[in-house]
Structure 1
């Protein structure tokens, strides 16, 4: 049952409620499941968005549960109290804080039927996403020399780049670890980390300020904590450094590194960008966080995407088909060209020492220089 389930719901009584979209995120706990469901009517200015929370009594594949729901402000997209937004909607509109639901998970299908005391009845049948480790994108195979020639022809400031040691699919570190409920990450993980790390950072991050909250989560990302962020760079060469970096010196095998090329300009032109981490809609938003206690951002020419989507790559490809735009491409370069690439990058000033200011980066750079294997 755990995972992210996306799809549409159908209203059984359309005179009371309309059809719409639904997102269900379910985390597996020791003895049961915990989840959050977003119910988004087709016209969110006529009917409120609902965000519901639930926890099952056990791990049975059929569950009858009560969902505790909150409405969402259609302007800010934050959860709120119904009395604060009631006047936005037509007279007679109501909101249900309690939803009775039946869940059934069988053969990779999650079936949900739900009802409220006001007579709203909805149902949905959601298919289990095809979770894969490898990328669905066929990369263009190039030598290091061809790669340099190709990226030099690209328009500046139009694309973002991401280097990976292998052609793994695009997915945040949070979702790669089989977690799906971002509310738990924001309300638990971030709060605990803030308490633990505040004595270690020169700046005290005020999590009540959106820009500092984002900067703190970005700091966690750059120090190895799993987050719903995905790192990119304005530089194809910085991205290539990160792709080649972890291959051993002298590698002679046939594996390939990958550099993704994301047309972020077109993406931001045609798709709405959300400046909050977890809106009730599926999203992939480009964010340029302020650099607080994070000296790596500038040399890495870093920029970040944030997403509540488990399979970012599938989302990019689907939206590409919808709009007829090739948002994402990939280039695969033989990993055995590492020495040639790292030598060129060194002359560009792209080294571990410059990418990771501090003792760790300096030692890694000197190891690259003085040890041949």
Structure 2
């Protein structure tokens, strides 16, 4: 049951409205806990917020909770207040809003059915679905050769596009945080980030104040580069850095291997003109925003020409494609190159100075670079 569930909530009461429903749940011990967000399809767009807790062994389940409202504040750790108070403030007159919500439902691996009622007699239902753990990429890549792709990349306008390399063309764009089955980003911000800062603070050459937005983002970016799950997705302004990450694990692949690696290309300039970024780790909104973080304590950022996307979405590709359809623009495409070309790719990148030693300053990167040279595939 843990993960992100999306769908539409349909109201069966005359004075309540349909809405887009997002249910973000983590497994915590013997229960699934998180928050359900209800975004009305018509104004006023006040996001109803329901804290959610269900025992792991209860299916079908029933739960009861308070009803909160999202205040849209960006400078507080938990921007949710009593729904009736907030609705009265927004409209300028007293509002009668439900205070308690009673939810029943059942779920399987990819579908959850919900029905609800409130202390005011409102009722409704929803079916929400989550992204499958083994879902393949929705993006149809262009099959090409390294020679053709290298020529195309050399004509790229710098910083208009960004790139991401993945070693398997079937893998979707998905943060490690969401791949691990987590979804409640408010919990991540309140618990994981402070916990890791306490753990690593003594090892940081330059102090980082995680109560400040820039430092917190830079610290999470540091965690990302050292393997801790984060809601970030790494990109590079260099297509050749992306190619290194796409082929890094394939240097000993057999020549007859028809599997493909993939390089995603994203039109950053068009995206930031079309959508206002949300510069927060935790938000109930659908978010896919690009950030360049401070570089202190993270010597990998500059050589990798790195920036990251912060996302609240598990299924990133579906969100991007929905924005493409809505706005009539193309933001994302992909190129698939056979892994049998790995040796040729890595040889070209070495001549360009794109190596493990240059991208990962330190002993580990130097050893990986020299190993690739001194112990070539046979």
TM over 0.5: yes
Give SS of 1:341's match.
helix
Match in the other structure for 1:177: 180
- Deviation, 1:35, is 2.8
Q: CA deviation at 1:69?
A: 4.0
**Are the aligned partners of 2:262 and 2:337 in contact in 1 as well (CA < 8 Å)?**
yes
Distance 1:36 1:187 in 2: 14
Assess if the C-alpha contact under 8 Å between 1:51 and 1:79 holds in 2. no
Deviation at 1:94, TM superposition (A): 4.8
Task: Give the structure 1 partner of residue 8 of structure 2.
Answer: 8
What residue is the counterpart of 2:23 in the other structure? 24
Counterpart secondary structure, 2:23? strand
2:196 aligned partner? 193
Alignment of 1:282-293 (within 5 A): 282-293=286-297
User: Aligned equivalents of 1:43 and 1:75: distance in 2?
Assistant: 21
Distance 1:148 1:107, change over 3 A: closer
1:65: which partner in 2?
Answer: 63
Q: Deviations over 1:315-370 (max 9, x none)?
A: 22232233332221111112222222222212211111110011111111111222
**1: CA distance, partners of 2:213 / 2:109:** 41
204-213 or 300-309: bigger deviation: 204-213
The corresponding residue for 1:362 is 366
| CA shift in 2, pair 1:142/1:10, >3 Å | same
Q: Structure 1's 350 and 74: CA in aligned 2 closer, same or farther, altered over 3 A? A: same
- 1:214-363 matches, within 5 Å, as 214-249=217-252, 251-252=254-255, 253-363=257-367
Shift of 1:125: 2.2
Distance in 2 between residues matched to 1:309 and 1:112, nearest whole Å: 21
- 1:83-103 per-position Cα deviation (integer Å, ceiling 9, x unaligned): 578523331235555322112
Task: Check the 8 A contact 1:33/1:59 in 2, yes or no.
Answer: no
Deviations for 1:150-175, whole angstroms, at most 9, x for unmatched residues? 11233332111001111111100011
Q: Name the CA distance, whole Å, in 2 between partners of 1:85 and 1:293.
A: 44
Give how far 1:146 is off. Answer: 0.5
Aligned equivalents of 1:149, 1:58: Cα separation in 2: 53
Partner of 2:48: 50
Structure 1 position 212, deviation (Å) = 0.9
Q: Secondary structure at the match of 1:56?
A: strand
The alignment partner of 1:232 has SS state of strand
Q: Distance in 2 between matches of 1:371 and 1:58?
A: 50
Partners of 2:33 and 2:52 within 8 A in 1: yes
Counterpart CA distance in 2 for 1:289 and 1:95 is 41
**Distance between the aligned counterparts of 1:190 and 1:179, measured in 2?**
14
- Aligned pair count reads 371
Q: Deviations over 1:85-132 (max 9, x none)?
A: 852333123555532211222584322222332444332222444553
Question: Gaps spanning 5+ residues in structure 2: where?
Answer: none
Cα drift, residue 203 of structure 1: 2.3
Name the SS of the counterpart of 1:230 in structure 2. strand
Q: Is the 8 A contact 2:178 2:314 kept in 1?
A: yes
Range with greater deviation from structure 2 (163-172 or 180-189):
180-189
Matched residue, 1:38: 37
Secondary structure of the structure 2 residue equivalent to 1:293: coil
| TM-score, structure 2 normalization | 0.90
**Whole-Å separation in 2 of the counterparts to 1:79 and 1:223:** 30
Q: Which blocks of at least 5 consecutive residues in structure 1 are unaligned? A: none
SS in 1 for 2:218: helix
1:187: how far off?
1.8
Q: Which segment drifts farther, 26-35 or 4-13?
A: 26-35
Task: Tell me the alpha carbon deviations over residues 186-211 of structure 1, each in whole angstroms, 9 at most, x when there is no partner.
Answer: 22221211111111112222121111
**What is the CA–CA distance in structure 1 between the aligned matches of 2:13 and 2:179, rounded to whole Å?**
39
Q: Distance in 1 between matches of 2:166 and 2:130?
A: 27
1:289-313 deviation line (CA, Å, top 9, x unaligned) = 1112111111100011011111112
